Amino acid sequence: MVIPLISTDKHLMGVIQVLNAKDKEGKIVPFSKDDEVLLTHFANNASIVLQRANMTRTMILRMIKMSELRDPKETGTHVNRVAGYAVDIYDCWAVHHDIPENERTKFRDMLRVSSMLHDVGKVAISDTILKKPARFTPEEYKIMQTHTIYGASLFTSTNSQMDDLAQQIALTHHENWDGTGYPGWVDPFSGEVQKADDTGNALGKKGEEIPLGGRIVAIADVFDALCSRRVYKDPWGEDEVLSEMRKMAGTKFDPELIEIFFEILPNIRQTQNHFPDKPEK
């Protein structure tokens, strides 16, 4: 029996196929009218779920495109590479930590999308700073740091694990393992400092205070930035990049995740080659 999955605007999204109805003795029998009614009801519910999922995916892709239009560095290939690196790092970490396959699959899918939104908060940064063809002044860099807070504040759902992960990654992907990163212990909605040093500035999150997603995307984002051309620098050579990544283990990066990064380096290179930057015009 095959039942179509029809959207509310009458588009075919797929089909559900069920094979081999059986009676109580396990013998194959024809499907009944009741089977058809039950499966049709299930197909209607499945169609609604698929349509909502497609709407969510479309909105996310539009947010990513919006970031790309605002920030010349935030290209589609960059966010796809960061997402690919992040998923590869997580998969290896999950195997080392004996994470069950169903939990691993669920987190992996959310991580791929959430990591692509890591810099979406840059839409709130002035073009004067965002598109400046040179390094930032200290004052400009301070303003640029607020993109983490702006990005996190976009994800407000209290019952969505995807929103929770996207918020964590947007907020913490510039935190450092040793606590010297930003924005630190700041509430993304109120802007209030939650933990401060003696001068009243927010303390940086450190070690495992930084959520796993943020620690992973930090590695993926920096690696891709070092390998890429920027207005103020040429791309680094691979040996130089890998040396720098190794050097920052235990200070900027989670040392365990850096070991995993090097363990899966062939996968990282494969993702890098799969999403090359477009040739400059």
φ, ψ at 185 (rounded to 5°)? -80, 80
Q: What is the helix (H) or strand (E) element at residue 271, kind and residue range?
A: helix 265-274
Cα–Cα dist 281/230, whole Å: 15
φ, ψ at 85 (rounded to 5°)? -60, -45
Cα–Cα dist 230/129, whole Å: 14
Cα–Cα dist 146/49, whole Å: 35
Among 22, 122, 205, 233, which one carries the catalytic annotation? Answer: 122
Cα–Cα dist 204/200, whole Å: 12
Contacts of 103 (CB under 8 A, 6+ apart): none
Token pair for 180: 């010297």
Quick check: is 233 catalytic? no
Question: In the chain, what is the greatest distance between 2 CA atoms, to the nearest angstrom?
Answer: 78
Please give the positions annotated as active site: 122
